[in-house]
Amino acid sequence: MKIAVAKGDGIGPEIMQAVLSIFEANKVPLEYEYVDMGKWVFDKGFSNGMTPEAQETIEKLGILFKGPMETPKGKGVKSVNVTARKTWNTYANKRVFQTLHGVDTVFSKAGIHIDVTIVRENIEDTYGGIEHMLTHDVALSRRFITRPGSMQVIKYAFEMARKKNAKRITCGHKSNIMKITDGLFLECFYEVAKEYPELKADDVIVDDLCMKLVTRPDLFDVVVLTNLQGDIVSDLCAGLVGGLGFAPSANIGDHICIFEAVHGTAPDIMGKNIANPTALLLSGLTMLRHLGLMESAATIENALLYTLEQGIHTGDFGDKAIPALNTTEFANAIISNFGKLPAQGGKPTWPNKPITPTTFKLEKNPLIMSKEMEEEVIVGVDMFIESFEQPTAVADKCLKHTLDLFKLVTISNRGTQVWPKGSIFTNLVNQYRCRFESIGDAPLTQIDIIELYKRLSVDFKICSTEILNMWGGKKAYSLAQGQ
């Protein structure tokens, strides 16, 4: 079976070599096709951080095993890590955080065992990176949460939880504030939960989740979150088990999967052969299991766990009274312990049943969408305008242009209502949201909105617009704070 391998930047080539040497010593039945990705590829002028040949190879093989990669700073290019995940729609990011004996933490010293799996939505949210300056003082980032995208990752999380015999699955969210976006994600969670009655499904507001994770992490099993919140919470969980050096990552898609270490490139120790390869090795073991190589994965993981139990370590962790090994020596120590079982946490050894990744030849981009169950009606528009005037002056100008179709309902500034009611103590910036709704919720057309836009543009620079929709008589837009 052939997979694509990208060595990465900084310490990437060193830790990748260590991991592949362990695979080779175990006679893991894989062949490697090396692909060009990372900072040096950016420097050659490839704006997405990979060569066309690399993209073609990865799309042909369906599996990418990659080291950490750096995105050049200050050159206006996107992260190659995020680009890879989004380009190939690896919608579920799975990170498993477990107590590793020999890696001391406050929880291991207290005898609290941790086994938490974070499933993070990997494509949407603010990670779309769609940002604009609306005025010289006001920046906007668009947050996309979609029903089909949420269903993909949540279904994966429930199916994975069932396979690992989990008892509990939790949705982390902020729907108390972001009622429409996080509200949609939470709605999808409970819709999917109906299909898995054997799992206890519950939800926790994300700030409360963080507090609970650092006090009683042993209470959680599988947690599924949106992209940005999942990014933060997964790094928090890494801190519970010893840091990002022990945090494996799998990016799962229907057609292509990426397995990677999520820590940085550590350029300060590059070339010194002292980096810790454990995170990349654990990610590689996740890949082996994904490919059906269960015996290979269990043998290597048991050797790793046994090695850690013996106090063998690299310089970034472990008992300082025991000399640290370099990267190569640490890999060789694991190899020498093949066949040995740790005292705690040993993995069962099932036979290899290799699964060859399916090669997909798509003729067009897949379109994922749910069926529209109720009629859509346009009932208004939010006009985001630039102005240095006070709210009453802005309202007076807006009211001149309502066309007998619209009523000016509210004006807000940074999300807080400042007209028709508000407080003189609310600080203002030079960008307002003016909400126009149709009189009597009568249906409007886009032509009506364009005409309003033209009239308002006489008095204002219009920075952005958002149509106000209703489905089945239910408003699909949020109120201003204080409205």
Given this model, what pLDDT does residue 456 score? 97
φ, ψ of residue 185 in degrees (nearest 5): -60, -45
- Superfamily classification of domain 1-91+254-370: Isopropylmalate Dehydrogenase (3.40.718.10)
Given this model, what pLDDT does residue 75 score? 63
pLDDT at 302 over 80: yes
Percentage of the chain lying above the pLDDT 90 cut: 83
Stretch 192-203: mean pLDDT = 97
Given this model, what pLDDT does residue 380 score? 96
Given this model, what pLDDT does residue 321 score? 92
Percentage of the chain lying above the pLDDT 70 cut: 99
CA distance 327 to 34: 21
CA distance 170 to 190: 10
- Contact (Cβ atoms closer than 8 angstroms) between residue 39 and residue 99: no
Given this model, what pLDDT does residue 236 score? 97
Among 253, 221, 279, CA closest to 93: 253
Given this model, what pLDDT does residue 74 score? 63
Stretch 451-464: mean pLDDT = 97
Domain residue ranges in the chain: 1-91+254-370, 92-252, 376-475
Among 439, 437, 430, 440, CA closest to 466: 437
Given this model, what pLDDT does residue 166 score? 95
Q: Of 48-62, 262-276, 367-381, give the lowest mean pLDDT range.
A: 367-381
pLDDT at 379 over 80: yes
Given this model, what pLDDT does residue 371 score? 84
- Contact (Cβ atoms closer than 8 angstroms) between residue 86 and residue 190: no
CA distances from 456 to 153, 279, 371, 461 (A): 42, 56, 36, 8
CA distances from 310 to 107, 109, 322, 325 (A): 19, 16, 10, 13
> Three-state SS for 424?
coil
> Three-state SS for 135?
coil
Domain spanning 376-475 has what CATH number?
A: 3.30.70.1570
Stretch 279-287: mean pLDDT = 97
pLDDT at 356 over 80: no
- Which long-range contacts link 395-403 to residues 24+ away (Cβ below 8 Å)? 395/419, 395/420, 397/459, 397/460, 398/434, 398/436, 398/456, 400/455, 400/459, 401/452, 401/455, 401/456, 401/458, 401/459, 402/436, 402/452, 403/448, 403/451, 403/452, 403/455
φ, ψ of residue 203 in degrees (nearest 5): -135, 155
CA torsion 318-322-324-328 (nearest 10°) is -100
Stretch 222-231: mean pLDDT = 97
Give just the sign of the alpha carbon dihedral 10, 15, 16, 18: positive
Give just the sign of the alpha carbon dihedral 468, 473, 476, 481: positive
Given this model, what pLDDT does residue 441 score? 81
pLDDT tens column, 92-146: 999 999 999 999 999 999 999 999 999 999 999 998 889 999 999 999 999 999 9
Q: Whole-number mean pLDDT of the chain?
A: 94
Given this model, what pLDDT does residue 249 score? 95
pLDDT at 372 over 90: no
- Contact (Cβ atoms closer than 8 angstroms) between residue 190 and residue 219: no
pLDDT at 73 over 80: no
CA distance 464 to 470: 20
Q: Of 72-81, 82-91, 324-333, give the lowest mean pLDDT range.
A: 72-81
H-only helix segments in 262-390: 278-290, 294-309, 327-336
Please tell me the class of the 92-252 domain.
alpha beta
Q: How confident is the model at residue 172 (pLDDT cuts 50, 70, 90)?
A: very high
Given this model, what pLDDT does residue 460 score? 97
Domain 1-91+254-370 and domain 92-252, same fold? Reply is yes
